[in-house]
Amino acid sequence: MRKIILTLMVLSAGLSAIAQNTYGLDDSNARATRRQKAMSAWHKDMAEFRARSAQDRMLNALADSLAYVQGKAALANRDFVFEAESVTFKNGKTAFVNSTTNFISLKGNKAVVQISPSNFASGPNGVGGVTVEGSVSGLEVKKGKNGRTVLTMNVMGIGINAQVEVYMYPDTNSATATVYPNFNSNTIWIQGSVVPYENSNVFEGSSL
């Protein structure tokens, strides 16, 4: 009887060990399968992300090229607005500004320079700064260094007598501008972009 009981105990222990090993193997295989599925999903997501990124870069490059062509034509046609993003003054201070109220424009022979760095005070022009306009002379558009398009002009009117230079970078409409007053040293440097006059949404305040 003891032998029978001992034999049954041994068989039971053996079956239990086999069951545990089988369960452990199944669990390990399940974890491996889940990891494989997770890796496959990750690789798929990354491939889709790279494809979208490449497409976005291509679309951005096309948009920049179109903006460049339009900006260059606008400069040549005397029909542009340079919309400012930041203005640096003689003292070295830089103000990030609203492009709607900070700009240089040219329509035919009339130029407008408006600098409105304040969002709180109305200023002489009613929109936080100063607006001056004048007639243009000596306008020239040429190709500068590093493929930049360069426009230079003299602007003379009530409140302004200055030389204005606009430098537009190649393959984009991003640009810099400098306003050199002829009778003082209050030069300002402006960062922004060039757009055709009809595509601009600037708001012109009261001129001096």
CATH number at residue 162: 2.40.128.410
Instruction: Please give the structure tokens belonging to residue 115.
Output: 């600098």
Mean pLDDT, the chain, rounded, equals 84
Q: Is the pLDDT of residue 59 over 90?
A: no
pLDDT digits (tens, 9 = 90+) for 63-120: 668 899 999 999 999 999 999 999 999 999 999 999 999 999 999 999 999 999 987 6
What is the C-alpha to C-alpha distance for residues 103 and 120, in angstroms, rounded to an integer? 18
Q: Which two tokens stand for residue 20?
A: 């545990």
Dump pLDDT digits (tens) for 167-208.
999 999 999 999 999 989 899 999 999 999 999 999 999 988
Least confident of 16-25, 33-42, 186-195: 16-25
Q: Which of 108, 116, 121, 102 is nearest to 200 (CA)?
A: 102
pTM of the model: 0.71
Q: What pLDDT, on a 0 to 100 scale, did the predictor assign at position 161? A: 95
Structure confidence at residue 112 (pLDDT): 97
For 116-145, what is the mean pLDDT?
90
Structure tokens at 166: 């606009």
pLDDT of residue 39: 73
Q: How many domains is the chain built from?
A: 1
Strand 94-96 relative to strand 103-107, pairing: unpaired
* pLDDT at residue 21 in the model: 53
User: Residue 61: what pLDDT?
Assistant: 61
What does the pLDDT read at residue 10? Answer: 46
- At residue 31, the pLDDT reads 76
- Cα separation of 177 and 77, whole Å? 18
The domain in which residue 114 lies consists of: 1-208
